[in-house]
Amino acid sequence: MNTQAQDWDDLRLFLAVARAGSLSGAARVLGVTHSTVFRRIGAFEQRMGVRLFDRLPGGYALTAAGEEMRDSVTCIEEEVAALALKVTGQDQRPSGMIRITATDLLAVGVLPRHIAAFRAEWPGIEIEVVVADTVLDLTRREADVALRLGNPGQETLVGRRVGRLAFAIYAAPGLHARGLSDPADGDWISYGAAHGPLSRSLARWWPQMRQVYRTNSIIAAHAAAQAGIGVAALPCVVADCDPALIRAAALPEDFMLDLWVLTHEDLRHTARIRIFVDFMAAALAADADLLEGRCPCKAIPAGA
């Protein structure tokens, strides 16, 4: 490895420790071992001739010199990321890798058949899907494209709303057969504090709902409903297609979440990104009835 590459790796490692406040947190972010971070951060301090961190019982805290270095390195990181975005944005080849971030719901319940159709049409473009409930930072190239529910909220992102996701109440057939005249009387699979807009609406509609199972994952709630643990508010695009579930009731109000396909403004003219965003927007727009819960699901061929 040449000196410049080594120096940049050390600076990235320094930033990871500074942000995480611990060796173990930095190791998780960088995908290396705790001992590797410990060894390299010590060697980096020795080479710099200054102590950058105070080793405290609760973790690693920046010294005054460390704070000054963090600010400088952050500026360098932002400039490198901006340069990478601009260079990538000039790439007009319909080939290469696209890194997509999506929630488990979208990665499991919505994307696979569309990505299969996309790959059949564009075999030179490879796809990596990062399943994350946290919002990855597109400006730092943690991902190239994001599929998100709700308001995108970042001014530097461009894209389009490609659909709306409807929800309804679902139950396993055996549970439904025992009678569910009022959802408030049933055992509920809930999301706790996760999925804020949906959780807040459920709490407002049924303040006394009996929450017997909580999860932060819609896919996990889907599996729990299949097992008969209770009733759950699930997206129609997933649950209507499942013969192990019955749509037991509609929600009291028209509740939908906007579905967005987004990328960074500097990447929107990159050929593979533009092709993917356009393809996915068209595919999801064609799924409008299914996404919005207006039609019963049947086996859908890939790319239909």
- pLDDT, tens digit, for every residue of 91-109? 555 678 888 888 888 898 8
> Same domain, yes or no, for 101 and 54?
no
Report the alpha-carbon distance of residue 133 to residue 148 in Å, rounded.
10
* Residue 224 CA: distances (Å) to CA of 50, 154, 191, 244, 297: 54, 34, 12, 11, 20
**pTM, rounded to two decimals:** 0.63
Instruction: Kindly report, residue by residue over 140-185, the tens digit of the pLDDT.
Output: 556 788 888 876 555 456 677 888 999 999 999 877 655 566 777 7
Put residue 153 in one of left, alpha, beta given phi > 0 → left and psi -120 to 50 → alpha.
left
User: Does one domain contain both 105 and 221?
Assistant: yes
**Claim to verify: residue 129 and residue 80 sit in the same structural domain:** no
Residues 165 and 32 in one domain: no
Number of domains in the chain: 2
Digit-coded pLDDT (tens) for 239-293:
998 999 989 888 888 888 888 888 877 676 788 888 898 898 899 988 899 899 8
Domain that holds residue 298: 95-304
Written as six digits, the tokens of 134 are: 């946290």
CATH of the domain at 49: 1.10.10.10
Check whether 303 has a pLDDT greater than 80: no
Please identify, among 24, 59, 89, the residue that sits at the C-terminal boundary of a domain.
89
Does 79 share its domain with 113?
no
116 plus 214 within the same structural domain: yes
Whether residues 115 and 247 share a domain: the answer is yes
Instruction: Write the pLDDT tens digit of every residue in 104-145.
Output: 888 988 999 999 999 999 999 999 998 876 554 444 556 788
User: Are 67 and 166 members of one domain?
Assistant: no
- Give the domain-ending residue among 89, 115, 136: 89
77 and 202 belong to one structural domain: no
Q: Check whether residue 250 and residue 117 sit in a common domain.
A: yes
